């Protein structure tokens, strides 16, 4: 604030010593120091209050922007969910319409009815047999009969062709051991 150098402070101290005297000078210096300290604390408190108000305004602005973004996100999610619901309802309506048309298919067009027919659910044993048959056909092996009661192959069924082991394809070198 004030540009007071060391020489100017000495001049002020000498004038105060002459005017006030040696008895009152220490008491006046203490009072002036206390008043200057209070003034500094007051200025610092005002600065801190202003900074807090600025930060509070920034937080309020950030809060409103986050709230608006959350509302926008919520509306977009609701719109997406409602569009999914409408599409699901359309698919359900189309499926119920197709079910009505499958009932009206004539006996002469069995190929159309077979294309629209849904396969009956299978038991675990039947599913395992179907999978095994498909695998055997893919490998061109004779298909052994699977016991549907147990869902297993008989003991004399041909095994799948042996495949080269991974270690034969990628031999690993012996580990190097440090000399003792």
105 secondary structure, DSSP code: -
Q: What is the DSSP string of 113-179?
A: HHHHPPPPP--HHHHHHHHHHHHHHHHT---PPPBTTTTB--TTSPPPPP---HHHHSPPPPPP---
Higher-confidence position of 45 and 164? 45
- Domain boundaries of the chain, sorted by first residue: 6-98
pLDDT of residue 16: 87
Q: Full-prediction pTM beyond 0.95?
A: no
Scan for tokens 């999978």, then name that residue. 131
Q: What is the mean pLDDT of residues 49-59?
A: 94
């Amino acid at each position: 604030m004030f540009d007071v150098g060391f020489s100017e402070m000495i001049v002020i101290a000498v004038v105060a010593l002459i005017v006030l005297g040696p008895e009152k000078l220490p008491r006046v210096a203490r009072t002036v120091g206390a008043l200057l300290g209070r003034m500094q604390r007051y200025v610092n408190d005002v600065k801190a209050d202003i900074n807090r108000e600025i930060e509070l305004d920034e937080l309020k602005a950030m809060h409103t922007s986050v709230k608006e973004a959350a509302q926008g996100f919520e509306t977009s999610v609701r719109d997406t969910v409602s569009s999914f619901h409408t599409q699901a309802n359309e698919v359900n309506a189309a499926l119920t319409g197709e079910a009505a048309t499958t009932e009206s298919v004539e006996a002469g067009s069995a190929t159309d009815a077979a294309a629209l027919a849904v396969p009956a659910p299978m038991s675990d044993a039947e599913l395992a047999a179907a999978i095994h048959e498909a695998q055997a056909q893919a490998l061109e092996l004779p298909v052994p009969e699977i016991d549907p009661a147990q869902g297993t192959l008989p003991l004399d069924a041909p095994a799948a062709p042996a495949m080269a082991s991974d270690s034969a394809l990628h031999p690993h070198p012996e580990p190097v051991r440090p000399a003792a």
